[in-house]
Amino acid sequence: MQGSATPSLATVITGASSGIGEALARQMARDERQALVLVARSADKLEALASELRQAHGRQVEVIVLDLEQPGAAGRLLARVAALGLAVDTLVNNAGFGLNDSFADMAPDRIQGMMQLNMVALTELCHGVLPGMRARGFGRIMNVASVAGFQACPRFAVYGATKSYVLMFSEALAAEENGNGIRITAVCPGATDTAFHSVAGNHGTLAARLMDSPETVARSGLRALNRGRRVIVTGLLNKPLPLFVRLLPRAVVTWMAGVLVKREKQPA
């Protein structure tokens, strides 16, 4: 497919090895027609999912094993997609992680990695795919933010701020690209039943007891993307959150966010 051949269109999903990204990959393999490119660090999980989706749906599914926390990873990812003879028609920036801890106690490399993955790689990937989407007059970008992005989050100070960035950045891009045929949606899940909570150390929190399934989040996110909605808060319980944040004093909202993620017991 290299050289002068017209590239086939592809959907690139970061963080496709588990949770919301895996659910998105399954739903897009079933309901859409483009080739899929699954990206994460866990080669074994990606290969198993890719072979299952190829068998079930007869679709081209490629795997790219990459650590998106590394500087320059976004450029390397897009070069590898191009080398496969694929053009990115849909980008799903889903890979991300959070840490439930006081900021002063966090390891510097985890802070750096979180900002690099949640913000920098996401931004660079958007920048890398938009020219091709503009040239084709069509494209879709889903950026997975969080309800944590609507207000300050004690114990998730950096994570919440990275998700505020994703939310604001995505809304601005959606406005800029309005009229270019490019849909950009920020998906804001509330607590979702994935590995996120074990990675974050989110044990025994109130938030972790009110979980949606990753399949529900993926379904709502895709529906919003296809309808051209700029922001979607998934999960019925989470829907009023942006309104509360606007109506209540900021200090009250910050306190409430802290209560939701306060660890009530240590892991066994």
Ligand X SMILES: NC(=O)c1ccc[n+]([C@@H]2O[C@H](COP(=O)([O-])OP(=O)(O)OC[C@H]3O[C@@H](n4cnc5c(N)ncnc54)[C@H](OP(=O)(O)O)[C@@H]3O)[C@@H](O)[C@H]2O)c1
Residues of this chain that interact with ligand X (CB under 6 A) are 14-21, 40-42, 67-69, 94-98, 117, 144, 146, 189, 191-192, 194-196, 199, 214
The nearest distance, CB 8 to ligand X, in angstroms, is: 24
Which residue in 75, 32, 55 sits closest to 64, CA to CA? 75
Where are the alpha helices (H) located in the chain, listed in sequence order?
19-31, 43-57, 73-83, 108-115, 122-136, 157-177, 196-200, 214-226, 241-247, 250-260
Using CA atoms in the order 206, 211, 214, 219, what is the torsion angle rounded to 10 degrees? -130
Token pair of 126, please?
Answer: 């958007």
Choice between 103 and 135, CB closer to ligand X? 103
Q: Shortest Cβ contact with ligand X: which residue?
A: 19
Choice between 53 and 68, CB closer to ligand X? 68
Choice between 8 and 256, CB closer to ligand X? 256
The nearest distance, CB 138 to ligand X, in angstroms, is: 25
Question: Which residue in 156, 159, 165, 196 is the catalytic one?
Answer: 159
Residues 6+ apart with CB under 8 A from 231: 167, 170, 171, 185, 186, 188
Q: Is 64 left (phi over 0), alpha (psi -120 to 50) or beta?
A: beta
Choice between 11 and 146, CB closer to ligand X? 146
Contact yes or no for 210/247 (Cβ under 8 A): no
Known active-site residue 159: yes
Strand 86-93's sheet: what is its strand order?
Answer: 61-65, 35-40, 8-14, 86-93, 139-144, 182-188, 231-233
The nearest distance, CB 77 to ligand X, in angstroms, is: 9
Choice between 34 and 234, CB closer to ligand X? 234
Using CA atoms in the order 47, 49, 50, 55, what is the torsion angle rounded to 10 degrees? 120
Q: What are phi and psi of 2, to 5 degrees?
A: -85, 180
Token pair of 52, please?
Answer: 């299952």
What is the chain's length? 268
Choice between 5 and 220, CB closer to ligand X? 220
The nearest distance, CB 228 to ligand X, in angstroms, is: 21
The nearest distance, CB 37 to ligand X, in angstroms, is: 13
For tokens 């998105």, the residue is 24
Catalytic residues: 159
